Amino acid sequence: MKTIYCISGLGADEMAFSRLKIQGYKLVYLPWLLPHNNESIEQYATRMCVGITEENPILMGLSFGGMMSIEISKILQVEKIILISSIKSAVELPWWMMGAGKLRLNKIVSMRSYKILEPIQNRFLGVKDKDEIEMVRNYRKNAPEIYTNWAINQVLNWKNSWQPPAIFHIHGDNDKMFPIKNVSPTHIIKGGGHFMIMNKAAEISECINGVI
């Protein structure tokens, strides 16, 4: 059985992929690492490669994990990359993220989640039912601050303009984090928000099974 290496979104874990049903493949989760001091995204990707033991792997990245999948594919030759609710290059970042990166707002204002902001953040994520809300709350609570600060900075200041030849991009037409008007996906999930990997898992699984 072949392997698909999965990289979750910012601060998330393997539970993000738990509702996917992929035929004939096992999903192996690559955990996030604590970043080193002043570590670049390229250096971080090199360290994440250690968890990949197969040649020409298939990578599947959710949100920031999709960006990291592209960075890993600059180091390792991959069979294909599957992006879910992510972006392929810096030009697909929404204007407010570009502006925050240029103004270095994340260095001035803490990007940690505050309880009063949870409803707004959940709306951006497209979180719907109680289980999803609780899962996201746990992510916020348990993600190490050193990782969260580093990851947010990497998202806001991503400079990538390259993409591997075999890349498949699954995106929701109601994604408020990375609006579909800024991206060019190969597969569109109608009504899908940024967290559609949980509440549109059957449709996403169908797309993935068609790709692989």
Helical axes 64-73 vs 41-48, angle rounded to 10°: 80
Q: What mean pLDDT is predicted for residues 24-52?
A: 96
Tally the C-alpha atoms within 13 A of residue 145's C-alpha that lie toward its C-beta: 5
Q: Reply yes or no on whether the pLDDT at 132 is more than 80.
A: no
Q: Is 11 in contact with 35 (CB distance < 8 Å)?
A: no
Evaluate if residue 108 carries a pLDDT over 50: no
Strands 25-29 and 58-62: unpaired
For the beta carbon of residue 137, count every other beta carbon within 10 angstroms.
16
Q: Which pLDDT score is estimated for 195?
A: 87
Q: Left (φ > 0), alpha (ψ -120 to 50) or beta: where does 126 sit?
A: left
Task: Count structural domains, the chain.
Answer: 1
Contacts of 170 by beta carbon, 8 Å cutoff, 6+ apart:
82, 83, 84, 85, 185, 186, 187, 189, 204, 207, 208
Please indicate, yes or no, whether the overall pTM of this predicted structure exceeds 0.85.
yes
Once rounded to an integer, what is the mean pLDDT over residues 28-48? 96
pLDDT at 176 over 50: yes
- In contact, 117 and 185? CB cutoff 8 Å: no
CATH number at residue 149: 3.40.50.1820
The boundaries of the domain holding residue 90 are 2-211
Single out the residue of 162, 148, 3 nearest to residue 67, CA to CA.
Answer: 162
